Structure 1
Amino acid sequence: MAETIVKICGLQDVEVLKSMVHLPLDYIGFVFAPSRRRVSAESAAQLMAELVNWKASEAPRAVGVFVNPDLAELGELLSTVPLDVIQLHGQESPEYCKKVKQAFPQVQVWKALTVADKDRDKAENIYTYFESYAGAVDALLLDTYDSGQSGGSGRTFAWDVLPAYQEIAARYGLPLFVAGGLDPGNVSDLLEGYAPDGVDVSSGVESDGSKDIVKMTAFVERVKQS
């Protein structure tokens, strides 16, 4: 079984990033969409400069989180911040995702899809939805639906819908990440029950709104030891 991929998202502080140098992370995320965790291009570039302190083979790759960006915005950002992944977290269509891939072939494109309680009884709709993104993105990320924001709700969704999503993702060779309300206390249950390709955490490893190295360490250890 492949090792579960870990992404810690919403990084803002250089000193916090320095404290993470010994964590076996796969991805770190910077939020460029409206959010209390939003960073500027200049701040993200400063944060990425700290990645040289990782051993080259162990440095996490950088993900930028966007909500309904236009191509010009993405191009300007990438000229300052050499991201490895563009994560689209809004209402971006498969057609738009393809445009992003074509415009910026040097990066991967991930699409976040939200899961609502009502989806538990509508698994048949998943197939059409997922199929539309096959060939348009490099990975899919499931997050909890929140009518007031695009992700970052800090709540889990009903994980029992995951097998249907995983079946479709596997059919098209798309890695499937799970986000939404994960923390050191529940991630082991997710891994033992559903073994997703990757997990994405933000608020679940924070204390008083800031990244907590103790919680991040516990989260990563529980994932990598599962």
Structure 2
Amino acid sequence: MVMYVKYCGCQSEDDYKLLSSSRADIIGFVFAESKRKVTPEEVSSWVRFHEKRKLLAGVFQNSSIEEMVSAAKEVPLDIIQCHGNESVSTIINLKKRTKKLVYKAIPYSGTISEQISVFAKYADAIVVDSVSKGQFGGTGISFSWTQVPAILKEAKKENVPCFIAGGINPENINSLLEYDPYGVDLSGGIEYEGKKSSERIKKLERMISHVSSNRT
């Protein structure tokens, strides 16, 4: 199976151009409170004059439906990723209002299987991320990847695509690739001094290509 790759936290037009030429399937923009937060107006100006080569995702956290609908009108988003405590009804209404794919991020915990089961019927994909010191997502810290097989098994049972996120980088991705995830979601792991790094992206993609070629 070909693994999907999402690069998140695009913060500038330079980042956007770099990620557009990468192996990524999806480019993510964080519209939630974060050190990587950008505005729909900024993103619209970056993508307006460049050929759209990737799927575009907007990441929100406990935003109102109106705010997410407005952003989807401003930016040619393909995916809306809800990264907070959004309810099933929010997912349903958001899909109805925007006609976009909606991903639901779920914090890794002992109840992850139950959470996947709840949202699998409504979300187009699940993103399992780590929590550190009360912060969900963007922590640069991974959860125990020994739990990934059980997570992927639950997602497969529920027939929902599942991305793994949190603390993935070129130095450790081999450990995660052993479990053959459907997709990976990275942000800080491909940055150097706060900017997306061509060298780190190339290193990461070499790792992915190496593992993929050994499986064929």
For normalisation by structure 2, the TM-score amounts to: 0.91
Q: Which residue of 2 aligns with 1:31?
A: 30
1:171 aligned residue = 157
Q: Distance in 2 between matches of 1:177 and 1:217?
A: 21
The answer on whether the counterparts of 1:12 and 1:30 sit within 8 Å (CA) in structure 2 is: yes
**Which residue of the partner structure matches residue 221 of structure 1?**
206
Q: Counterparts of 1:39-78 in structure 2 under 5 Å? A: 39-49=38-48, 51-52=50-51, 59-78=53-72
Equivalences, count: 211
196, 199, 216: which one aligns with 1:211:
196
C-alpha distance in 2 between matches for 1:129 and 1:189: 25
The Cα offsets for residues 141-184 of structure 1, whole Å up to 9 and x where unpaired, read as 11111243231000010011112211111012111101100000
**Could you tell me how far apart the structure 2 residues matched to 1:126 and 1:12 are?**
30
Q: In structure 2, what residue type is equivalent to 1:223?
A: I
1:63 aligned counterpart, secondary structure = strand
Query: 1:136: Cα distance to partner?
Result: 1.1
Following TM superposition, by how much is the alpha carbon of 1:7 offset from its aligned partner in structure 2, in angstroms?
A: 0.7
Q: TM-score, normalised by structure 1?
A: 0.88
- The residue number in structure 2 matching 1:196 is 181
User: Which segments of 5 or more consecutive residues in structure 2 lack a partner in the other structure?
Assistant: 212-216
Counterparts of 2:207 and 2:148, CA distance in 1: 20
Distance change in 2, residues 1:20/1:64 (3 Å): closer
> Which residue identity is paired with 1:83?
L
Moved over 3 A (4+): 19-22
2:94 maps to 1:100: yes
SS of 2:136's partner is coil
Q: CA RMSD in A?
A: 1.6
CA deviations over 1:185-221 (Å, ceiling 9, x no partner): 11122102x1110001111111111111110121123
Residues 99-158 of structure 1 show CA distances to partners (whole Å, capped at 9, x for unaligned) of: 2112222x1000111114xx2xxxxx4443222112210000111112432310000100
Query: For the Cα contact (< 8 Å) 2:106–2:112, is it kept in 1?
Result: no
1:161 aligns with 2:160: no
CA distance in 2, matches of 1:64, 1:13: 14
Q: Which amino acid aligns with 2:103?
A: W
Letter in 2 for 1:204: G
Deviations 1:29-65 (A, max 9, x none): 000000111111111112223540x6xxxx1110100
Q: Distance in 2 between matches of 1:51 and 1:148?
A: 37
Contact 1:17 1:50 in 2 (8 A): no
**2:112 counterpart of 1:113:** no
1:151 counterpart residue number: 137
* Per-residue deviation, 1:20: 3.8
Give the partner amino acid of 1:202. Answer: S
